[in-house]
Structure 1
């Protein structure tokens, strides 16, 4: 026996959509296609969002003597790529450089490049980006209202739209100059288009919006991929009750796959142009690209980051990110939509899975909470919408007038909390922008006025220094200069070797870097010559009350000084040869910490403990012949590498430069050649900083032109373990 329900037909097997309601819903959607432009509520909500973001920009202007400055330096990376694109240099950070993938959003850069082509140049490009973000945020708030109305009625839509318009983090992101608001706009537009096309069983615009999402952010691609699965499922369900032919069905499914084809084409293009399918930002920031990847360590850090996301979105900590209980209510909203509105089950399930997967993918980043969670900020409109749905479903548990009272009370509290945090977020943005102006923008202008026009400047915070200085820059972090991202993760020693490999005419002749950042360890190589200038911060600081506040390092004072040096390459190559002449013919050399040379020799550290990272470093030692600079790698346990060019049947001598770093550790290692024991090697201590010692491989173990050499602890499992810095190996016969 079956009976008609409010949202479908109840049977013994559950609730199925009512065909009459499906047809009515389709007709309503077709009749309301032009209504959004006539809906006063949508205009009012969008206008409120514009008012809030406008006030944010006014506060920032007031803190910066009425100049437009962003709250983070990364904005200028987009502006630099956009200006070069507008000038005809696609994905070039410096004119004439190879293409690089330092921009976190390809489509956003193309849009800003279009602004440049229309005549928006120089200092005008930043306010154009900010205004574009504000408009995207206004559209997002208005579309969230339309989406909420479609899912559960006007009260839900209006409440959700107001919460978006009054969100401090979203107003911060929209006026930051980054692609945050544009990504949020695309995600909400995806859901709105999905609800419009679901009843017809034909998805035309939704896949096109998913293509835009795929070209905007990797996180948006993940969300679009999940929604594409939901589209295919709805298409197959719809096809069961229609006479659609198999070829037409296959064609519609193929059309839904557009974002996947687009993403594949984009990554193939990156691989063809740069040698890596991954963006430089991923290479520089992913936990999966650390020197040694330990699965459980990565899982632990990822889950810790994921927990931080949940804490921020729940609003149950001291962080002023969302109103208290928002995430819990969003879960209630998704479950309620799934159970009480069968026609939206695919949407509820896909949205929930999409949000979880996006958070999970971002959680694999080393700095996942950067700049107030800017990588997951675009999810906020969706979370807030579903939180309002949660309040709505909870209200439905009551009868009569109590339903309205519960819903109204919950929404009023949420709006009061959101509105009360707006001044803090506006102030935070102004203070952070003042830090960028006080440091990066000021330094860029100093460089422009004091360094030669053909200067090559090494930097560790790509952005304003390139955009305003008009000088060729080398990004030591590796976002905008290919080849440095992985080297920077390995440490200063690998950075030094990457700089050595550069053509002399492109090698930096100046450095402008934070004194507190790890790349400053290049100082140990003596490459910092005369100090030309040093800039300390005097701009306002701000409270760390919200998550990710410390990553806005200028206002948080985590990078309060930048120093500019002349480069000194006089010691370059001084460590290439051993101190005493080699005996015999040189067969091979392994330059430890040079990533390319390590790869050629299958070099790897064999750590004694899980979790140990063999970072590279630099050292300069005064020898009788003068100062010697070399890069090395910290080893606790042992090493493995392959040597070549050997003459079989003859003994081979390995000469090593080594520094025993821990007096409590053993100074001996066992040597194995192709798995066979070859003896014990003792590393003598030397107060100068390192020693050079040799080990002879017996002739009977040299059976081929190549050999795999392992240095391992003298006893298994138990310490003390070898703890030393490993430098070059020379192999002679």
Structure 2
């Protein structure tokens, strides 16, 4: 009997695409509502997050031939949180989509990934919860307001959620294969796994006749799944660094699959020569080795970005990691770090996943209880259906939401770091509906509709938040358009072409102005993240050392974010947007940069004839502090400032410098003790310590040299002063510990210490 003809490639493609049709229809309808709301409020294409324009700027530079340089003229920038999202956008720019027209491409990608995420969530839920609850999971995913918000936000959030969910689904399918279902698994073959490898013999082909080998032997479905899984595990961390979780899941699943492979059963002796058993064993061992080698592929994914950073920027960590990651932040010691992490976890559990104040726009109140019960239902479903690996993988994906708790804050941008792990919560909710439905049927067999009814109720509860979320999406897009986008266009029209703009929100200002930017936060400007993390005073001290050609000519910033008034000159224009909750501030202001105060506080205001500076500790200057082993308290970044005031009153001998009526200096607030090491090359004939300090309430400071107190100084209440105290010169020839300790008062502010002498 002749084998049935293979389906055409077009029919096969249609069969694979068929499961996506309902999801695409739902996503298309939802997208139309989102886009219509945005166009109505903003008057044109707009995006609700400035970060989306960071991706678009990187995409433009890629299309222009600059490999992840953020602005023309600068080199590689390690600030791209997502390596692949700009790569996906770059071809659209190369094809001619410019300015805001690129937003339509971003929206199209959002629609596709939104639909694909709903399909993958349903597929992940089906082996654990059955077809009815799985369909409900897909509906929950499609109607989840957070996914709708971010699908049309221009961010990579939904694409990342899709690849996490797909990785989890493939890993589970590889660990616990099931008879394939073409409607739910595009990677599965059309025939069941139990189908015989060879067709039965017929009268047209007697048993003694040798079987004709097919021209292209069918490949085991697990091989296709394994390759797809390895690819997903490799790609996931290129979309976001948290994708390392997907890499780990993929590697473990692939290694487990390779290790459990059994040798092939002995074949009956055919009439023609066949491979020897030793050759068959060698092939089996070769297949196992190939499987283990494939398991290493996902583990390479998390190494790509660090390798690029090391090669092109000289350091493996990204600037985003330096700014946002708690672990490794120099301002957090062990106890402070643990407290911050626990606070974040507590906030996640008690507010974020419960529909509290931070997520009420997306989640119904009390959602945490459903997720908790869903976790129990997940374990029950795994036991009842023999799916422990599926449940473990879903649980690992759900626990991935703890990863953003390691950030300085995961509340930025509508909690966008948490939502990619939400499909696991939806799967657990689907398991809950199935277990409750089965329990109802055990009580009364006619209650077969309970599972789909509950799944529909959960989907409806999530979808009920859609009007609120769509309104917030449109309002936020309007706010960004009226502030950052407007200021970017203003800069393009009013600032010189060679201007360099200092910014704290860098996306739209760089994208629309066409001017070089200087990211004061350090996300897109290499080398600045360290100083942003340290605080405003450290940034001011750092700017003193920057070459003039690297300094901004203008600033467009939120003044309270910048917190560095000495470098902000004349105001040029501002953009004020009220009735919004997405912006970093109601008003963003464009300034001329002011650099005349740089270095103005480098010397004491009084100097005696013939006296010179023998050593200097410039407080807040990170390099000076490190050179003098200056001791910092935890959370020192929160008490770091830069100020400009009239020249301080001084008790030091010598003449007052009349050319410095105003000084600027960085300093650290609310100190109770300052300890550092003085380093002089030789013992001076005489020496004194000059302190530039201040106190809100007045203070008395005790000064010790090498552990011995040598005197005290009084600091009056009010602005800064300079006080001088004689030092035992003979003891200053070697590195000498010096301590300034609060004797009286609530605290003091330290700006500068000099050892002057002859």
State the shift of 1:101 in Å.
2.1
Q: Is contact 1:230–1:346 with CA below 8 Å preserved after alignment?
A: no
Q: Structure 2: how far apart are the matches of 1:688 and 1:40? A: 73
Query: 530, 538, 547: which is aligned to 2:570?
Result: 530
State the shift of 1:159 in Å.
0.9
Q: Structure 2: how far apart are the matches of 1:36 and 1:250? A: 36
Q: Structure 2: how far apart are the matches of 1:379 and 1:333? A: 18
Q: Is contact 1:359–1:376 with CA below 8 Å preserved after alignment?
A: yes
Q: Structure 2: how far apart are the matches of 1:227 and 1:119? A: 38
In the alignment, what sits opposite 2:704?
Answer: 671
Where do 1:149-188 residues align within 5 Å?
149-188=126-165
The verdict on how the C-alpha distance between 1:584 and 1:252 changes in structure 2, with shifts beyond 3 A counting, is farther
Gaps of 5+ in 2: 1-10, 178-220, 266-280, 649-657
State the shift of 1:293 in Å.
0.9
State the shift of 1:175 in Å.
0.5
Q: Structure 2: how far apart are the matches of 1:241 and 1:306? A: 49
Task: Single out whichever of 141-150 and 579-588 deviates more from structure 2.
Answer: 579-588
Query: SS of the residue aligned with 1:389?
Result: helix
Query: SS of the residue aligned with 2:604?
Result: coil
In the alignment, what sits opposite 1:338?
Answer: 382
The verdict on how the C-alpha distance between 1:695 and 1:112 changes in structure 2, with shifts beyond 3 A counting, is farther
Query: 590, 607, 625: which is aligned to 1:581?
Result: 607
In the alignment, what sits opposite 1:643?
Answer: 678
Q: Report whether the alignment pairs 1:570 with 2:596.
A: yes
Task: Single out whichever of 720-729 and 596-605 deviates more from structure 2.
Answer: 720-729
Query: 79, 82, 91: which is aligned to 2:68?
Result: 91
Q: Deviations over 1:39-72 (max 9, x none)?
A: 755421232122212321121111111x111011
Q: Is contact 2:174–2:253 with CA below 8 Å preserved after alignment?
A: no
The verdict on how the C-alpha distance between 1:680 and 1:253 changes in structure 2, with shifts beyond 3 A counting, is farther
Q: Structure 1: how far apart are the matches of 2:605 and 2:425? A: 64
Q: Report whether the alignment pairs 1:618 with 2:640.
A: no
Q: Structure 2: how far apart are the matches of 1:639 and 1:288? A: 26
In the alignment, what sits opposite 2:403?
Answer: 361
The verdict on how the C-alpha distance between 1:270 and 1:656 changes in structure 2, with shifts beyond 3 A counting, is farther
Q: Is contact 1:575–1:630 with CA below 8 Å preserved after alignment?
A: yes
Rg: which structure is higher? 2
Q: Is contact 2:619–2:666 with CA below 8 Å preserved after alignment?
A: yes
Query: SS of the residue aligned with 2:606?
Result: coil
Q: Is contact 1:490–1:616 with CA below 8 Å preserved after alignment?
A: no
Q: Is contact 1:659–1:690 with CA below 8 Å preserved after alignment?
A: yes
Q: Is contact 2:705–2:736 with CA below 8 Å preserved after alignment?
A: no
State the shift of 1:320 in Å.
4.3
Q: Report whether the alignment pairs 1:599 with 2:626.
A: yes
Q: Is contact 2:30–2:148 with CA below 8 Å preserved after alignment?
A: yes
Task: Single out whichever of 198-207 and 278-287 deviates more from structure 2.
Answer: 198-207
Q: Structure 2: how far apart are the matches of 1:214 and 1:536? A: 38
Query: SS of the residue aligned with 1:105?
Result: coil
The verdict on how the C-alpha distance between 1:598 and 1:611 changes in structure 2, with shifts beyond 3 A counting, is closer
State the shift of 1:502 in Å.
2.3
Query: 512, 525, 534: which is aligned to 1:490?
Result: 534
Q: Is contact 1:497–1:593 with CA below 8 Å preserved after alignment?
A: yes
In the alignment, what sits opposite 2:41?
Answer: 63
State the shift of 1:340 in Å.
2.2
Q: Report whether the alignment pairs 1:390 with 2:368.
A: no
In the alignment, what sits opposite 1:322?
Answer: 363
Query: SS of the residue aligned with 2:239?
Result: coil
Query: SS of the residue aligned with 2:615?
Result: strand
Query: 276, 283, 300: which is aligned to 2:315?
Result: 276
Q: Report whether the alignment pairs 1:401 with 2:445.
A: yes
Where do 1:535-550 residues align within 5 Å?
535-537=575-577, 540-541=579-580, 550=581
In the alignment, what sits opposite 2:517?
Answer: 473
State the shift of 1:127 in Å.
1.8
Q: Structure 2: how far apart are the matches of 1:231 and 1:620? A: 64
Q: Structure 1: how far apart are the matches of 2:701 and 2:717? A: 15
Query: SS of the residue aligned with 2:525?
Result: coil
Gaps of 5+ in 1: 1-32, 542-549
In the alignment, what sits opposite 2:554?
Answer: 510
Task: Single out whichever of 95-104 and 399-408 deviates more from structure 2.
Answer: 399-408
The verdict on how the C-alpha distance between 1:445 and 1:470 changes in structure 2, with shifts beyond 3 A counting, is same
Q: Is contact 1:77–1:102 with CA below 8 Å preserved after alignment?
A: no
Aligned length: 668
In the alignment, what sits opposite 1:23?
Answer: none
Q: Structure 2: how far apart are the matches of 1:238 and 1:708? A: 66
Q: Structure 2: how far apart are the matches of 1:634 and 1:192? A: 52
Q: Which runs of 4+ in 1 moved over 6 A?
A: 240-244
CA-based RMSD of the aligned residues comes to 2.9
Q: Deviations over 1:514-539 (max 9, x none)?
A: 23x331x322x2x322221122125x
In the alignment, what sits opposite 1:306?
Answer: 345
In the alignment, what sits opposite 1:232?
Answer: 255
Q: Structure 1: how far apart are the matches of 2:685 and 2:632? A: 25
In the alignment, what sits opposite 1:211?
Answer: 234
Q: Is contact 2:168–2:249 with CA below 8 Å preserved after alignment?
A: no
Q: Structure 2: how far apart are the matches of 1:695 and 1:241? A: 89
